[in-house]
Chains A and B, each alone.
Chain A
């Protein structure tokens, strides 16, 4: 067990708890920087992890920290993506500025949703955001001059400071598409920036006000928090992050069509924050990694699993092996396997680990640091029967 000896108030204001935590994060960053060289085949998947990381942060700020659950975040992603493509490809706005503008446009949309949402709480708010997402998807369908409508819109590779990024590059004997590589690092930079900004908000009065609104609106109000202002702020900030993620997402998918930004995507984002663990930045990133890489794992399983299991069961006779292989092959090639697995995972997490992956990680850490005195009760939460719902 390690004890942290605090001698100055500044120690509670740092980005990291202590030097150890900072070094672990630095090590993680180093791994992320060399990752494209280690696993060049999966670079676009890793870009998606980073983009989903931004989305996770966005929804975490809103749902995990302010307690406003949104089922319409794919719409903000779409707004960001279309806005970025429109600004950069049709109006010729410089790339970085266009990404920033995408964030601004999405934030404006966030304020627009946030304002009527102020009068709603809980599940009603969720339904309102769902309705918003459906409306926006219809707008993507119909506003053909900007979005290209149902026929979609091709996205060109990013052009940074006038340097077009296409062709291949060979680094240390590994050949990579320059566009993919640039996108990966752009995503990484944007994700780190977003993490820094979100962490800054959370350690200053605004973040505290969000947490206060999440835990008790009435007490927050009595302490001087203007609910309307801070809820709108949370919506705008969350939407801005989503808009920037959308701009990067546009380059990742390469072709925008309205049906990408469906409710299913919004549900995936919600899955991300729940699986990761509501109320923690680590959780947002763990959840994003999980949700972005699960389809990759499923795809790999599709190709490899039947043969592999066939070989294992071939030990019981070649006929059994072939039969098992064929059965597994039929099962994994079922359409709709992916949403099914996602749904199953969500249910299992809510049942067995409501605190998400990050909560599980904290438990494992505490188990070893307290060994052999770990108590399961340390993380059990008392049910709050005392809270008055009357004054909501």
Chain B
């Protein structure tokens, strides 16, 4: 079975071929990293996978299902969660509310029962809360439960966003530059968490990352992109030593 695969994925913005025929397959239980210089199309691939962009060509397959035409809000329900490069949290809500929104894909109460706040809604809310508390414990977010996002330092926001994605109980987690803006210690914590997410929670991770020490520490396989085209795939070491990759980064 195919866990996740992109087949000849392409998107063109006018004459710009941002992603141009990229194929890769992610196996369940691995950390798969996409690297590449600025503008290589890494984040564009994420936006294609989370269905924010409409691919010009190609197919996306997740758990043997073609998700190329699934509406964007259905993606979370299929089991794909994501974080954003520049943090897209709900800034004027508390950490708890942000994490609880991560449970939206598991919402089972209707509008009118919520309007009356029936006992069933309350019970479901408590269930969501318990799931959220597990994530809070996992990521050590206990001190921040009732803090508004706008009052949090950047590093913590990054963790909250990871937590919100985990609250959806995904099968595939898309991390867009999890270490950007973090200091060395926070990056180290992030590396531990990514490994734990894979090994303890059994969630497959698809990641875009620039920090090669983080990439080497956690990735099983790496895909290098340049100008929207794949140039190398393999273990972190193989890709780092690949002549095309070196040329893409250093020129020549």
A and B: interacting chains: yes
What are the residues of chain B within 8 A of A223 when measuring CB–CB? 76, 81, 101-102, 104-105, 164, 168
What are the residues of chain B within 8 A of A219 when measuring CB–CB? 84, 88-90
Is A216 close to B, CB under 8 A? Answer: yes
Is A226 close to B, CB under 8 A? Answer: yes
User: In the bound complex, do residue A386 and residue B86 qualify as a contact, i.e. CB atoms below 8 Å apart?
Assistant: yes
User: In the bound complex, do residue B114 and residue A222 qualify as a contact, i.e. CB atoms below 8 Å apart?
Assistant: no
Determine which of A9, A208, A215 lies in contact with B91 in the assembled complex, contact meaning CB atoms within 8 Å. A215
How far, in angstroms, from A10 to B97 measured CA to CA in the complex?
15
What are the residues of chain A within 8 A of B216 when measuring CB–CB? none
Determine which of B71, B102, B117 lies in contact with A203 in the assembled complex, contact meaning CB atoms within 8 Å. B117
User: In the bound complex, do residue A218 and residue B52 qualify as a contact, i.e. CB atoms below 8 Å apart?
Assistant: yes
Is B93 close to A, CB under 8 A? Answer: yes
* The stretch of B16-24, B26-34, B122-130, B206-214 that contacts the partner chain: B122-130
Mostly, the B contact residues are helix
Is A167 close to B, CB under 8 A? Answer: no
Taking the closest CB of chain B, its distance from the CB of A3, in whole angstroms, is: 12
Give the contacts of B50-86 with A (CB-CB under 8 A). Answer: 50, 52, 71-77, 81-82, 84-86
Is B233 close to A, CB under 8 A? Answer: no
Give the contacts of A334-392 with B (CB-CB under 8 A). Answer: 381-382, 384, 386-388, 391
User: In the bound complex, do residue B104 and residue A222 qualify as a contact, i.e. CB atoms below 8 Å apart?
Assistant: no
- Which residue of A has the minimal Cβ distance to B77? A224
User: In the bound complex, do residue B104 and residue A382 qualify as a contact, i.e. CB atoms below 8 Å apart?
Assistant: no
User: In the bound complex, do residue B129 and residue A9 qualify as a contact, i.e. CB atoms below 8 Å apart?
Assistant: yes
Is A257 close to B, CB under 8 A? Answer: no
Taking the closest CB of chain B, its distance from the CB of A381, in whole angstroms, is: 6
User: In the bound complex, do residue A224 and residue B130 qualify as a contact, i.e. CB atoms below 8 Å apart?
Assistant: no
Is A212 close to B, CB under 8 A? Answer: yes
Query: Please, could you name 10 A-B residue pairs with CB atoms under 8 Å apart, sorted by A?
Result: A9-B133, A12-B129, A200-B116, A204-B121, A211-B92, A215-B92, A223-B76, A224-B104, A388-B88, A391-B47
Is B96 close to A, CB under 8 A? Answer: yes
Chain A count of residues within 8 A CB distance of the other chain: 38
How far, in angstroms, from A391 to B82 measured CA to CA in the complex?
15
How far, in angstroms, from A214 to B96 measured CA to CA in the complex?
17
How far, in angstroms, from A142 to B114 measured CA to CA in the complex?
39
What are the residues of chain B within 8 A of A224 when measuring CB–CB? 73-77, 104-105, 107, 168
Tell which of A205, A212, A214, A233 has the most Cβ of chain B within 10 Å.
A205
Is A220 close to B, CB under 8 A? Answer: yes
Is B217 close to A, CB under 8 A? Answer: no
Is B115 close to A, CB under 8 A? Answer: yes
Is A135 close to B, CB under 8 A? Answer: no
How far, in angstroms, from A218 to B88 measured CA to CA in the complex?
8
What are the residues of chain B within 8 A of A391 when measuring CB–CB? 47, 52
Query: Apart from A223-B104, A223-B168, A225-B104, what are 4 other A-B pairs with CB-CB below 8 Å?
Result: A9-B126, A12-B129, A13-B122, A216-B91
Determine which of A9, A200, A220, A386 lies in contact with B101 in the assembled complex, contact meaning CB atoms within 8 Å. A220
Is B109 close to A, CB under 8 A? Answer: yes
How far, in angstroms, from A208 to B76 measured CA to CA in the complex?
16
Determine which of B73, B74, B111 lies in contact with A227 in the assembled complex, contact meaning CB atoms within 8 Å. B73
How far, in angstroms, from A211 to B92 measured CA to CA in the complex?
8
User: In the bound complex, do residue B111 and residue A209 qualify as a contact, i.e. CB atoms below 8 Å apart?
Assistant: no
User: In the bound complex, do residue A205 and residue B52 qualify as a contact, i.e. CB atoms below 8 Å apart?
Assistant: no
How far, in angstroms, from A13 to B118 measured CA to CA in the complex?
12
User: In the bound complex, do residue A387 and residue B86 qualify as a contact, i.e. CB atoms below 8 Å apart?
Assistant: yes
User: In the bound complex, do residue A221 and residue B52 qualify as a contact, i.e. CB atoms below 8 Å apart?
Assistant: yes
Query: A-side interface residues toward B, CB under 8 Å?
Result: 9-10, 12-13, 197, 200-201, 203-209, 211-212, 214-216, 218-227, 233, 279, 381-382, 384, 386-388, 391
Is B100 close to A, CB under 8 A? Answer: yes
User: In the bound complex, do residue A200 and residue B107 qualify as a contact, i.e. CB atoms below 8 Å apart?
Assistant: no
Q: Nearest 7 A-B pairs (CB), nearest first? A: A224-B76, A224-B105, A215-B90, A219-B88, A204-B114, A200-B117, A216-B88
User: In the bound complex, do residue B73 and residue A208 qualify as a contact, i.e. CB atoms below 8 Å apart?
Assistant: no
What are the residues of chain B within 8 A of A12 when measuring CB–CB? 96, 129
User: In the bound complex, do residue B86 and residue A204 qualify as a contact, i.e. CB atoms below 8 Å apart?
Assistant: no
How far, in angstroms, from A207 to B115 measured CA to CA in the complex?
10
Is B150 close to A, CB under 8 A? Answer: yes
User: In the bound complex, do residue B93 and residue A215 qualify as a contact, i.e. CB atoms below 8 Å apart?
Assistant: yes
Taking the closest CB of chain A, its distance from the CB of B45, in whole angstroms, is: 14
User: In the bound complex, do residue A13 and residue B125 qualify as a contact, i.e. CB atoms below 8 Å apart?
Assistant: yes
User: In the bound complex, do residue B102 and residue A201 qualify as a contact, i.e. CB atoms below 8 Å apart?
Assistant: no
Determine which of B73, B87, B117 lies in contact with A225 in the assembled complex, contact meaning CB atoms within 8 Å. B73
Tell me whether A215 and B89 are in contact in the complex, defined as CB-CB below 8 angstroms, given that A12-B129, A204-B114, A205-B107 are known contacts. yes
- Which residue of A has the minimal Cβ distance to B46? A222
What are the residues of chain A within 8 A of B125 when measuring CB–CB? 13, 203-204
Tell which of A203, A209, A219, A279 has the most Cβ of chain B within 10 Å.
A219
What are the residues of chain A within 8 A of B114 when measuring CB–CB? 200-201, 204-207
How far, in angstroms, from A209 to B114 measured CA to CA in the complex?
13
What are the residues of chain A within 8 A of B76 when measuring CB–CB? 222-224
Tell me whether A212 and B101 are in contact in the complex, defined as CB-CB below 8 angstroms, given that A10-B126, A204-B114 are known contacts. yes
Determine which of B88, B117, B129 lies in contact with A204 in the assembled complex, contact meaning CB atoms within 8 Å. B117
Taking the closest CB of chain B, its distance from the CB of A221, in whole angstroms, is: 5
User: In the bound complex, do residue B52 and residue A209 qualify as a contact, i.e. CB atoms below 8 Å apart?
Assistant: no
User: In the bound complex, do residue B111 and residue A233 qualify as a contact, i.e. CB atoms below 8 Å apart?
Assistant: yes
How far, in angstroms, from A221 to B107 measured CA to CA in the complex?
14
User: In the bound complex, do residue B101 and residue A221 qualify as a contact, i.e. CB atoms below 8 Å apart?
Assistant: no
Determine which of B50, B75, B88, B107 lies in contact with A387 in the assembled complex, contact meaning CB atoms within 8 Å. B88
What are the residues of chain A within 8 A of B126 when measuring CB–CB? 9-10, 13
